[in-house]
Structure 1
Amino acid sequence: MKHSPDLLRIATAGSVDDGKSTLVGRLLYDTKSVLADQIDAVHRASEARGLDGPDLSLLVDGLRAEREQGITIDVAYRYFATGERSFVLADTPGHVQYTRNTVSGASTAQLVILLVDARNGIVAQTRRHAAVMALLGVPQLVLAVNKIDLVDDAAEVFSTITADFAELTRSLGWSDDQVLAIPVSALRGDNVAIASDQTPYYHGPTLIEHLETVPNIHERTGEPVGLRFPVQYVIRPRTAEFPDYRGYAGQIAAGTVSAGDEVVILPSGTRTTVEAIDTPDGRLATAHTGRSVTLLLADDVDVSRGDVIAAAGNAPTPIQQFSATVCWLGDNALRPGARLLLKHGTHTTQAIVRALDVLFDEQELALVDAPESLELNQIGRISVQTAEPIVADDYSHSRESGSFLLIDPAGGNTLAAGLVGDALDQLHLTGRVSV
């Protein structure tokens, strides 16, 4: 589906008990995006807990284990809209052990709302999440200083937290116009949908006003990479009605495609032309990023699942040895020599981690040379070699074609989220430590 200027993908992040789920519930409630029976269920659950008012976090914390513990474990996706724009929101976990879910939820976000508790200020998890957002290339941040109603001298507290966060985000590569700080009370609704008279020191927009008007950024910096179409399935019905039909189904990862475009099949390098674009709703003249389509090609070429159909004018060179930045998600540490599966798009191949180049210390904003291992939730740059070539772009040019997963070949568990290229070098880091 073509990107719409009226749809914004956002995510929340922050430390445990900073009020992420309550804020999301408030957004849903204030935009009237909740059905009456859901509100009734929240009231009943809140009364059962002995609360005086509705616990809006229950609108998001849908899993039984989450409700019992009062925390977010999984990534909860919610949809809401205002008169100006529609939103897809991912409410991500706060616990350190669920950083993997935060990476997943924020990987497609165009804006992240990062919460801090006004009573605690910037904490270790705030710095960790900010670093992850920087590596993922999230173009815009909102710092929601929550529970501002619970501190004395709120103006001074807000000023201090905002200054600390600005220092952090500048060091990670964001410019000041990419970051906005807002004092809020998710519980009371201050500065969420309605400007609060309890924060006279703040003169900016409410959270919803900002979400409605912030630029909707889809493309990465630099030149667009052009068409990237990972082939998921080869369609050959072999029926009397379609005796010679051969289509290549998948989702457009980047760029656009039109009938008549010259394309190249990778990794083979065979060139051909797009003859037609089929969908369940009929044929299209042009299809855009995110649209699931079936491409028909002018020539009878050898194409199979895992191949990539790319724009002939700027096709990437398939790679087998490359550097990548990874967030390690496995319980057991990653060490040099590990043999894993690498999944890139629709292609899965064997891979070996040749070296651990650097470890990113997100608390000191420094790089540690030649670490012995990467532990759970640690971020580092590694050298990878694959058994088969993959058709990838640098992540700084394309999120979709520049990302991959590392998988346990025995159990099938996801062990790492990876970004092709030296994403750590994009951060404005000055510290470097040798071990």
Structure 2
Amino acid sequence: MYDLVVVGAGPYGLSIAAHAAAAGLDLRVFGRPMAAWRDNMPSGMYLKSEPWASNLSDPQGAYGLAAYAATQGVEARHGVPLPVRFFASYGLWFAGRAAPPVDERTITAVRPCPGGFRLSTDDGESVLARTVALAVGVMPFTDIPAPLRALPPEHVSHSSHHGDLARFEGRDVTVVGAGQAALETAALLAEQGTTVRVVARSGLLNWNTVPPPRERSVVRAARAPHTGLGCGWRNWVYAEAPGLFRRLPAPTRTRVFTSALGPAGAWWLRDRVESVVDIRLGARVARAVAAGGRVRLELATSSGRAATVETDHVIAATGFTPGIERLGLLDGELRGGLRTLGPGSAPEANADFESSHPGLFLAGLLSAPSFGPSMRFVYGASFTAERLVRGVRRRLGARDGARGMVRQRQAAPGWMPERTPAGRGAEELTARRS
């Protein structure tokens, strides 16, 4: 029986695995490394976060994004956006050096059993674990507005369902949403020759401003400090004090989670959208009907007027909402017994990212209603990995009858973090074995 099984191999899962291995835990990691970044984002997309705020986390801080960039002969500079594909390659590089080997099979079921959990893989193997960390990313939690859900798949999709937009070349596409995903998707579509429009409920588009220099005077830095989530003291609280955020009253956390850091486009995207894309603001989709191989969208506008749009396909860039009802891999009784936060159905996490079911830990978007907006971004991975692994050790120590400490092992069997010369291929996923 493993000490810990990590379900998911994105930035959070890999960071947790790196910290758990360094702590001497016997663990397994399941999932395709960086899958969402490799498969669900079109070529041509860029990171919205600053490079220095996009590090995966290992205990020594040896495998940051800047270290990977150096192996590729480039510099990850403040204020210069990096391609998403570059970040995905960085994640693979990290996986091959800082974390144990990843089992790329999918976990399809997590059930309680005596002493812990029984997990099932997609090919039928059972794996026993004393604790489990759910780092499943955002893909299980895609949001598509209710009026669009009855449309057949050929007429509607979520923005995260596209690793390639070429199928829409020369067609007519309507993008719903006003955030980075909506605006960048629209820009990429327009640039490949797609007729594209954006429909958004908000009355105006919000654009992030050009970030100030990293090095500034003390006075200017004090007025609006840099954080992993943007400048300003409020963002500083979200980014640097998620533990304090968790102590806020549940209604306050819920309100902030649903409203903070609302939809906005990156500063470098503005010129690619405003002069090119048809923007319909103050409008929401009231009804959608498939007819004659196309979709008729009936829009309700803020002015009270109705409008109609005919289009070939609708892309809902409407974000992600964490909820236990979407955690289909969890046993029904286990899922139904989890304590949730506020009026929604997000599972609540304690200070160590442990759910109300002992031994079941939460990471990434699943923990955002408890710990705040930083958990929606890669920047939250370091805080999560450190404290979650601490919580796993406490849980294992309690089960072993120790006083908050688990027995130490040298490392996961036969594996040590890679310490190799710079420049090895980013696609290598096999860690060194003794």
- Given the two structures, how large is their TM-score scaled by the length of structure 1? 0.26
Larger fraction in helix:
2
Higher relative contact order (CA 8 A, sep 6+): 2
Decide which structure has the larger Cα Rg and report it: 1
- Given the two structures, how large is their TM-score scaled by the length of structure 2? 0.26
